[in-house]
Structure 1
Amino acid sequence: MKALSVAKTFASGLVATAIGGFMVLPGGAAAAEKAPSFTGQAVAAGLTSAQATWLQSEVDRTMARTGGTQIAPNRIQLEGAVVNIALPGEQQPRTFGTAAAACSNSTAPYGYFCAYKNVNYTGSYIAMYRCGKYKLPGWVNNGSYLNNQTPGTRGFFLNQYDVLYEGSSAPDSGNPYNWNPIWSIVPC
């Protein structure tokens, strides 16, 4: 079997060869090409370096709890949901050049269950559009939610032991809603 080999010159003048999906650097070191810098994108979009660093650490902390893949400076894709993170003091997460996400502007599109970190449908939020179990990123105190799924669809709030704490039949909302005892949401 013949391996595909492509040479690539980096800005530093180093030449690397791609073999089987890996970049082989001079000296035999293998390294995957680095993903785009979301911190750099945030700074380029107008955030200060401190804000961009805080945002990336919040994304990392959230992903450690919820899983998922970072797809924008403040956005995490889960299977069937998206987490959007707002900067401290901001009412809604920024869009960073992408289309506004579902649940932005304090609304829940039809078919969605939206959980907001803060009261009045503000702050960071999770936009759930598929059945599944979604861990909250450690929210405490009062927040809010909008359940705009098919009428009669029941969502469930689970405690730390995955025991039913409370339910919500669509359409429904909670403002304020105490996130402290809630560790996961099953939207349907």
Structure 2
Amino acid sequence: MNIIKPAALLVAATALLAGSTVAATAADSPDGTRVTATPDGTRVTSIQQTVDQVLAGHPKALKVTANEVKYDGMTATRAPKGKLGAQDLDCAYGHLCMVVKNTKFDYYKCQTWTVSNWTGDGPFTNNQTPGTVAKFFNKDGSVRWTSTAYEAGRATWDPIYSLRPC
């Protein structure tokens, strides 16, 4: 399987929006501030600093708002308050959308995306052209499950290691 690896950005975007980092450490300091070490070892103490670190390492990424990062073919949006649910999953025609850990992922480019730290379950909408099959893969690259457009429902994200919208 040929995997395009915007993985570092996707993982980092997931991390900044979901409040965790990959290949990094995070802990609460004695004063309650969340202290995070980015994959390159830089310590940051705020979501804004984490966003800045992610964007600095990925010049093709675009910070749209304080809680949204856009990359060529994918947008990740963190809910500012509360939890995202199926009612919040507005998914444009031609897109594959899902909520993972209170972050909405909106895929609109046909390629394989590596993901990390996806756990729990959440809503999804496959609003691509009728008959388009989205595939979700296990760690070994085997297909875990598929969704044929149009389809909407709930899915268990663990253990999903990559996906291909088309």
- TM-score bin, normalised by smaller chain: 0.5 to 0.7
Task: Tell me the SS of whatever aligns to 2:163.
Answer: strand
Task: Tell me the SS of whatever aligns to 1:143.
Answer: strand
- Indicate whether 1:142 and 2:121 are aligned: yes
- Match for residue 23 of structure 2? none
Pairs aligned (count): 121
**1:5-16 matched pairs, under 5 angstroms:** none
Structure 1 residues 106, 161: closer, same or farther in 2, change over 3 A?
A: same
C-alpha distance in 1, partners of 2:127/2:59? Answer: 24
Query: Which residue of 122, 128, 153 maps to 2:132?
Result: 153
Task: Tell me the SS of whatever aligns to 2:136.
Answer: strand
CA contact (8 A) 2:68 2:78 kept: yes
**Highest Rg: 1 or 2?**
1
Task: Tell me the SS of whatever aligns to 1:126.
Answer: strand
Task: Tell me the SS of whatever aligns to 1:144.
Answer: strand
Structure 2 gaps of 5+ residues are 1-32, 35-44
C-alpha distance in 2, partners of 1:127/1:80? Answer: 8
Render the CA deviation track for 1:113-134: whole Å, top value 9, x for unaligned.
001115xxxx311111110112
**Letter in structure 1 aligned against 2:67:** N
Structure 1 residues 161, 76: closer, same or farther in 2, change over 3 A?
A: farther
C-alpha distance in 2, partners of 1:132/1:141? Answer: 24
C-alpha deviation, 1:58, in angstroms: 6.4
- Indicate whether 1:56 and 2:72 are aligned: no
- Match for residue 61 of structure 2? 69
- Match for residue 180 of structure 1? 158
Query: Which residue of 71, 76, 95 maps to 1:78?
Result: 71
RMSD: 3.3
C-alpha deviation, 1:169, in angstroms: 0.4
- Match for residue 3 of structure 1? none
C-alpha distance in 2, partners of 1:62/1:158? Answer: 25
CA contact (8 A) 1:110 1:149 kept: yes
C-alpha deviation, 1:70, in angstroms: 4.1
CA contact (8 A) 2:84 2:99 kept: no
TM-score, length of structure 2 as denominator length: 0.59
